[in-house]
Chain A
Amino acid sequence: MMSLPFVLFACAIGAAWMRQRGVSLGFWLIGLVTMLILFRVHVTEVLSIQL
């Protein structure tokens, strides 16, 4: 599951390589959303920054 953003970004670069700009932008957007969701999943540890 953690490799999903990389898969989607690789698809975005591949689509750009094939000169499919719209498809590339679509893959990029889904990749970014996936990345942020995974970030949310991993930010469970409470910060201890009280001094």
Chain B
Amino acid sequence: MSAELSKLLNTLGLLAIGTVLTMAFIDQVWFGELPCPLCILQRAGLIAAGCGIALNIVFGPKPSHYGLAIIGAVASAGISIRQILLHVVPGTGFYGPDVLGLHLYTWAFLFAVAIVLGSAIMLLSDRQFSQVQPSSGRLKALPLTAVLLFLILTIANIFSTVALCGGGLCPEEPDDYELFSIND
């Protein structure tokens, strides 16, 4: 696999993470489903994984960047598993709506596993690492858009979390924003 193809696949991967984060925002803003603390941390884990992919796009593919993506995804998966275990026994309730029969934290777990598998498969190709990347090479339109969108979504999460939790920790089951009210 050439470095160019690797960069394209990384771009598509980052766009996939961006899509998931956007859907989480749609669920939060449009449907009014406020994220719990573990849900917020799952988003952070996906962003941590996305950082590794973004580094692949900006600096060219490196095994260490895939390592960052895998570590971030494993952290996100761990947080998801914790939330799945909280509700795994029938009758112990659940958090948020289900999509296609699975709750969002279960989808987050599956998506994190997909990132780990995807990164592992990408690591199988050595040729992408043998091509030297120009240190000041400009990004093409699609990779540039993917990284920019990812940065914007990360910044949006800062504002969203501050609005929801203020400067401290988040409530376990939030029913309104800390900084303003949507239930009036």
Chain A residues close to B by CB (< 8 Å): 1-3, 5-7, 9-10, 12-14, 16-17, 19, 21, 24-25, 28, 31-32, 35-36, 38-39, 41-43, 45, 47-49, 51
Sample of 29 A–B contacts (CB below 8 Å): A2-B40, A3-B161, A5-B41, A5-B47, A6-B155, A6-B157, A6-B158, A9-B48, A13-B51, A13-B150, A16-B58, A16-B147, A21-B55, A21-B59, A24-B55, A25-B68, A31-B44, A35-B41, A38-B41, A39-B75, A39-B79, A41-B169, A42-B170, A42-B172, A45-B172, A47-B85, A48-B89, A48-B92, A49-B88
Q: How many residues of B contact A (CB 8 A)?
A: 44
Q: Which residue of B lies closest to A31 (CB)?
A: B48
Contact of B47 among A9, A14, A41, A43 (CB under 8 A): A9
In the bound complex, do residue A1 and residue B158 qualify as a contact, i.e. CB atoms below 8 Å apart? Answer: no
The smallest C-beta distance from B24 to any residue of chain A, in angstroms, reads 13
In the bound complex, do residue B158 and residue A28 qualify as a contact, i.e. CB atoms below 8 Å apart? Answer: no
